[in-house]
Amino acid sequence: MGRVTSRTPVLRIRGPQHTTRPDTVAAEEPLEIRLNGTPLAVTMRTPGDDFDLVHGFLATEGVIHGSDDVAGLRYCDSVDADGRNTYNVVDVDLAPGVPIPDTGLERNFYTSSSCGVCGKASIDAIRTKTSYDVAGDRVRLPLEVLLALPDRLRAAQQVFDKTGGLHAAGLFTAAGELLALREDVGRHNAVDKVVGDGVREGRLPLAAHVLMVSGRASFELTQKAAMAGIPVLAAVSAPSSLAVELAREVGITLVGFLRGDGCNVYTHTERIQLAPEN
């Protein structure tokens, strides 16, 4: 398995003090996903929880709908110059009857750690593609629980403490219980890893749950939440215009700038239970 972090020498400048010292940085390596031996996608990710990542990616792309759609998966023999397995290629055997997607119809399945689903901008396509009634989810989220999520997410980020360079995604209950947390150089990978954990545990759809992310709320993260049946997406930073439009269309409560004692709720505000005013 590839390393989550690596060490590199840096020139450290702090005012008048200049020192050379080793520093820890987040690892970033390619992961190629194959279906029945045929290349499907390449994503730049932080090694670790790769099988969760693959399950989540396939689920949020609509290739699979649950763990039963996967007959098996394994690391292929991709080797480096020294003949060691890089663990950077995963081959998935789909269950009988599960169709292999035609990647040429929609987009190239290459994603970078910052890109996600670049080139896929059809809100109508996502709204009709998801199998779950997100809009019908009647979960209610107390405001005090919502405001506590960033600190709970941050407290669980072990690799971030070492590198300062990883995104995080956490799946919470409406009571604020953290069920799964994953870190990655790519925000969309972190979400796929969380969703993939739910797929492998047979918990999809992730109804009545909150997806909390450490960065911004982009279109691709909103799409992934919709495909997993998650009714509330909360982000520390800002949403994009397409994220707001998609959330409104599919029925997701989209929260941005969630920090301290405040936030902005952009769509489906009825799910947030405000404290009674004095």
CA–chain centroid gap for 94, Å, is 22
Residue 182 domain flag: yes
Count Cβ neighbours within 10 Å for each residue of 245-270 and write b for 16 or more, e otherwise: bbbbbbbbbbbbbbeeeebebbbbee
Residue 241 domain flag: yes
Place of tokens 């947030």: 272
pLDDT averaged over every residue in the chain: 86
Residue 36 domain flag: no
Give Cα separations from 110 to 23, 33, 42, 117, 167 (angstroms): 30, 10, 5, 9, 19
Residue 192 has pLDDT above 60, yes or no: yes
Residue 58 domain flag: no
Fill in the amino acid letter for 209. H
Domain limits for position 246: 134-273
Reported as a pLDDT band with limits 50, 70 and 90, residue 81 is: low
Q: Taking the model in full, what pTM does it have?
A: 0.85
Lowest mean pLDDT among 38-47, 127-136, 175-184, 264-273: 127-136
Contact 27, 5 (CB under 8 A): yes
Residue 239 domain flag: yes
Which two structure tokens, joined as six digits, stand for 277?
């005013």
Instruction: Give me the pLDDT at residue 87, please.
Output: 84
Q: Which residues pair with 35 in a beta bridge?
A: 38, 92
Percent of the chain surpassing pLDDT 70: 82
Q: Which residue has the higher pLDDT, 162 or 21?
A: 21
Cis peptide before 22 (omega within 30 of 0): no
Q: What is the CATH number of the domain that holds 224?
A: 3.40.140.10
User: What's the per-residue H, E or C state across 10-40?
Assistant: EEEEECCEEEEEEEEEECCEEEEEEECCEEE
Residue 198 has pLDDT above 50, yes or no: yes
Rounded-to-integer distance, Cα 10 and Cα 19, Å:
8
Which two structure tokens, joined as six digits, stand for 53?
């990542």
Instruction: Give me the pLDDT at residue 118, please.
Output: 40
**120-159: pLDDT as tens digits:** 444 566 655 788 999 999 999 999 999 999 999 999 887 6
Residue 191 domain flag: yes
Rounded-to-integer distance, Cα 40 and Cα 79, Å:
19
Q: State the total domains in the chain.
A: 1
Percent of the chain surpassing pLDDT 90: 60
Residue 257 domain flag: yes
Taking the alpha carbons at both ends of the chain, their separation in whole angstroms is: 55
The mean pLDDT value for 102-125 works out to 47
Reported as a pLDDT band with limits 50, 70 and 90, residue 105 is: very low
Q: Is the dihedral of CA 169, 43, 26, 199 positive or negative?
A: positive
Q: Which residue has the higher pLDDT, 24 or 46?
A: 46
Reported as a pLDDT band with limits 50, 70 and 90, residue 56 is: very high
**214-230: pLDDT as tens digits:** 989 999 999 999 999 99
Rounded-to-integer distance, Cα 87 and Cα 30, Å:
10
Residue 213 domain flag: yes
Residues with active-site annotation:
115
